[in-house]
Amino acid sequence: MSATGAGAVVRPDREAQARLAARRTRRNFVGDGAMAIASGAALLIVLAVLAIILVDILHNGLPRLSWAFLTQEPREGMTAGGIFPAIVGMVQMVILMTLAGVPVGVATAIYLHEYSSPVSPVTRAIRIAVANLAGVPSIVFGLFGLGFFIQFLGAGIDKVFFHGQKVYGQPALIWAALTMAVLTLPVVIVATEEALRAVPRELREASLALGATKWQTVMHVVVPQAAPGILTGTILAVSRGAGEVAPILFTGAAYFLPQLPTHLSSQFMSPSYHVYVLSTQSPDVDATKPILYATVLVLLVLTFTLNMAAVVVRARMRRRQGVPA
């Protein structure tokens, strides 16, 4: 490309130079075009896949979706009626999961960002653990729930309080919720820490200069500022918890229950598990198909709404704090 360098001493061959420039322009035109087209095509394919999935599920699920579908029990071997018990079960599970998981996640994030020194081995170990926890396969969480919560904790509780009678030593709402709480822990930690990082240092310094203790500063100045981030993390965790199936396969989900869960030790129905069982083990796929599609649509609308809400909350938080999105 620097052919002109050697020829500059002698009289430059203007015609050759022009030819070279033209060829280079042409090549760059082709190169730039190919690059843009190839990467644009990749993006288009990804978006098209997303659109096809959404359109197919909307198209097939919408006709069956109604208020009655959301508020009725399933009837006639899941071929008629609605998914009311599944929705109730999911809500109960998600509430328990949030109560158990979010406080721990928020506490971890506060400790990591406000108290610990970034170079201490404990901090680094926590960070590595969080990153790895996020990557543990969901089916392994299912095994963990079975091995730890049910076989160890549940059976232990039964031995001590129920004289060996099986109450907690079997799949139950509480165990599914706790398993899911462990699974969603990294989501809460990461979102909360991001929010804490965005709180300006001056606020902390001002608070400390006014004589507030560290704890008062954290609780009354920093955490309120980071509240939207905590909310984002909670929403994302709920969205994840509502959609996952593998962790609740052996820890509490049931295919059909005649009554709603009443105790922590009851089993529960969940729309996500419902989709899995109906689509793989139904004796009559054609009869259950409309219901199946409608359930998938409910699940999808739920998770998308939650994710959108998280995006909006986060964007508003960033704008308020003047950090460009």
Residue number with CB closer to another protein (9 or 43): 43
**Smallest distance, another protein to C-beta of residue 88, A:** 19
Is 255 one of the binding residues for another protein (CB under 8 A)? no
C-alpha closest to that of 123 among 113, 137, 135: 113
Q: For residue 134, count CB atoms less than 10 angstroms from its CB and return exposed for 0-12, middle for 13-18, buried for 19 or more.
A: middle
3-state SS assignment for residue 73: coil
Q: Residue 67: in which H helix or E strand, if any?
A: helix 67-71
144 touching another protein, by CB under 8 A = yes
Considering the complex, state which of residue 84 and residue 276 has its C-beta at the smaller distance from another protein. 276
Question: Measured from the CB of residue 250, what is the shortest distance to another protein in angstroms?
Answer: 6
Q: Which is nearer to another protein, 78 or 185 (CB)?
A: 185
CB within 8 A of 95, min separation 6: which ones? none
How far the first Cα of the chain sits from its last, in Å, is 40
Q: Which range binds another protein by CB under 8 A, 75-83, 86-94, 221-229, 237-245?
A: 237-245
| 72, 116, 282, 321: residue in contact with another protein (rule CB under 8 A) | 116
How large is the C-alpha radius of gyration of the chain? 28
- Contacting another protein (CB under 8 A), which of 58, 157, 309, 311? 311
Query: Is 226 one of the binding residues for another protein (CB under 8 A)?
Result: no
Task: Compute the distance between CA of residue 242 and CA of residue 298 in angstroms, rounded to an integer.
Answer: 11
Rounded to 5 degrees, φ, ψ at 98 are -65, -45
Helix/strand/coil for 244: coil
Our finding on whether 35 is near another protein (CB under 8 A) is: yes
Size of the site for another protein (CB under 8 A): 90
Q: By CB under 8 A, tell whether 119 contacts another protein.
A: no
What is the total residue count of the chain? 325
Residue 8 interacting with another protein (CB under 8 A):
no
Exactly one of 184, 225, 272, 288 binds another protein (CB under 8 A); that residue is 272
Q: Of these, 141, 168, 175, 268, which contacts another protein (CB under 8 A)?
A: 141
Q: Is 56 helix (H, G, I), strand (E, B) or coil?
A: helix
Are the beta carbons of 234 and 102 closer than 8 angstroms?
A: yes
Nearer to another protein, 173 or 181 (CB): 181
Sites for another protein among residues 161-220 (CB under 8 A): 182, 185-186, 189, 211, 213-216
Q: Exactly one of 3, 16, 46, 227 binds another protein (CB under 8 A); which one?
A: 46
Is 279 a binder of another protein (CB under 8 A)? yes
Q: Which of 17, 152, 164, 323 is the binder for another protein (CB under 8 A)? A: 152
Cβ 258 vs Cβ 264: under 8 Å = no
* DSSP 8-state assignment for residue 10: S
Count the Cβ atoms, other than its own, within 10 Å of residue 155.
Answer: 16
Residue 185 CB, nearest approach to another protein (Å):
6
Near another protein by CB under 8 A: residue from 249, 254, 269, 317: 249
Integer Cα distance of 200 and 202 in angstroms:
5
For residue 73, the minimal CB distance to another protein (Å) is: 22
Of 90, 195, 244, 261, the residue at the interface with another protein (CB under 8 A) is 244
Residues 53-82 that bind another protein (CB under 8 A): 53, 56-57
174 closest CA partner among 95, 276, 259: 95
Q: Which two tokens stand for residue 155?
A: 């059976």
Which pair of structure tokens corresponds to residue 267? Answer: 């089993």
Q: Which of residues 96-115 bind another protein (CB under 8 A)?
A: 103-104, 107-108, 110-112, 115
The identity of residue 201, as a single letter, is R
